[in-house]
């Protein structure tokens, strides 16, 4: 996205619990899942002293029914018929891309934007290719990420190949996955997620984190995507349902209301070869940091979407980033990966760490995208 976004401030950030597909949120469609989170964020900024209408709702979504999920969710959340809404699809990066769009709208003059993402893998409609010459319609699991002439591997296979090419061993992947579950369970037990979660359909906690998921247990799992591979069900994220939303306002509105928040210093989107989509966050991170005039050493909190342990570790190695700095309260390997929402979940996690808990000043959120893209955002806590 072109143009400055540095006048945009996130002043509220909430999410639903993340449910494992087919379980706690299985009966909640995408719009119904996003609606209470939108409502809660709108109420939070109103209580905080931000008045006036919501100028736009922007939600990322990948696999919903269409029909502008953001608009349906805004109406279901009681935000008012006068509030316009836009649905963004950058696949796994949709939630963070929605924040990028929202920050740009605020920088262009909007007074209050709600931005985030939602995914209900459980209720995603079945899609069919139309029949050809009398054949039976064929169901497809995903649309093509690249046109004919480009390799377009499934994300798991691509992550496995990236790990191999980057020299990331199975042992490192299992150790990192075990770490994610250990940290996420510890955060859940101490109430580290409580302030950011809006209960939905009776679910109050993330479903996926597992206590005691050791490296030894993970080592017993077979390769999932190719014989002799290193990516398994245990060191991959889970297919999940969830929603996350932030409120963005101009810096002047934030200062007048006296609300602490996260100033958006810079955003960036980038492209890489479609056959290795997991690398997409690397150039996006580099560009966002360059636009912000910062380096990784200047950051206090780093949230990368953990789609696959091997993919995250390969990106960390390429960036020269110590993986122990990433997702200190666990990430998508433990929490799950609700595709269209995951990028926004990263921003909510930064808000909790830097604003609610005051553990540092500057942070980074980044996510890789099917088809070979990446999205990154750099933020700074402000009083």
Annotated catalytic residues are: 92, 337
Distance CA 44, CA 245 (A): 12
Q: How far is CA 50 from CA 99, 112, 383, in A?
A: 19, 8, 15
Is residue 162 within 8 Å of 314, Cβ to Cβ? yes
Written as one string, the DSSP assignment of 81-119 is TT--EEEE-BTBTHHHHHHHHHHHHHHTT-S-EEEEEEE
Written as one string, the DSSP assignment of 325-374 is GB-TT--HHHH-B-GGGHHHHHHHHHHIIIIIS---SEEEEEEEETTTEE
Phi, psi of 31, deg, nearest 5 = -65, -40
Distance CA 349, CA 14 (A): 9
Q: Residue with structure tokens 């939108």? A: 38
The DSSP H or E segment spanning 306 is none
Q: How far is CA 99 from CA 26, 66, 247, 269, 379, in A?
A: 26, 20, 9, 12, 12
Please choose, from the candidates 107, 36, 151, 133, the residue with its C-alpha nearest in 3D space to the C-alpha of residue 252.
Answer: 107
Pairing of strands 127-129, 240-250: unpaired
């Amino acid at each position: 996205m072109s143009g400055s976004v540095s006048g945009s401030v996130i002043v509220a950030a909430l999410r639903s619990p993340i449910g494992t597909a087919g379980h706690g949120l299985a009966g909640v469609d995408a719009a119904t899942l996003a609606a209470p989170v939108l409502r809660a964020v709108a109420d939070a900024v109103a209580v905080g002293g931000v008045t006036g209408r919501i100028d736009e709702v922007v939600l990322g979504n990948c696999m919903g029914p269409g029909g502008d999920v953001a608009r349906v969710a805004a109406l279901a959340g009681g935000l008012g018929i006068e509030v316009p809404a836009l649905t963004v699809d950058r696949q796994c990066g949709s939630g963070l891309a929605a924040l990028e769009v929202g920050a740009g709208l605020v920088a262009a003059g909007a007074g209050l934007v709600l931005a985030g993402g939602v995914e209900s893998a459980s209720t995603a409609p079945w899609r069919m290719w139309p029949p050809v010459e009398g054949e039976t319609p064929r169901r497809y699991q995903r649309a093509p990420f690249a046109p004919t002439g480009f390799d377009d591997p499934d994300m798991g296979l691509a992550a496995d190949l990236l790990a191999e090419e980057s020299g990331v061993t199975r042992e490192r992947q299992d150790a990192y996955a075990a770490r994610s579950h250990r940290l996420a369970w510890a955060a859940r037990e101490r109430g580290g997620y409580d302030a950011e979660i809006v209960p939905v359909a009776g679910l109050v906690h993330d479903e996926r984190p597992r206590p005691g998921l050791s490296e030894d247990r993970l080592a017993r799992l077979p390769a999932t995507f190719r014989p002799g591979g290193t990516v398994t069900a245990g060191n991959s994220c889970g297919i999940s349902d969830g929603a996350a939303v932030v409120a963005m306002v101009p810096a002047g509105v934030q200062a007048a209301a006296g609300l602490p928040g996260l100033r958006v210093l810079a955003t960036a989107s980038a492209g890489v070869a479609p056959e290795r989509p997991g690398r997409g966050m690397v150039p996006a991170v580099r560009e966002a940091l360059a636009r912000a005039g910062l380096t990784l050493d200047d950051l206090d909190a780093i949230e990368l979407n953990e789609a696959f342990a091997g993919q995250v570790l390969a990106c960390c190695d390429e960036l020269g980033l110590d993986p122990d700095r990433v997702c200190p309260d666990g990430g998508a390997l433990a929490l799950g990966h609700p595709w269209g929402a995951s990028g926004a979940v990263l921003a909510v996690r930064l808000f909790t760490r830097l604003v609610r808990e005051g553990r540092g000043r500057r942070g980074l959120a980044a996510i890789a995208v099917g088809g070979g893209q990446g999205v990154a955002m750099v933020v700074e806590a402000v009083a």
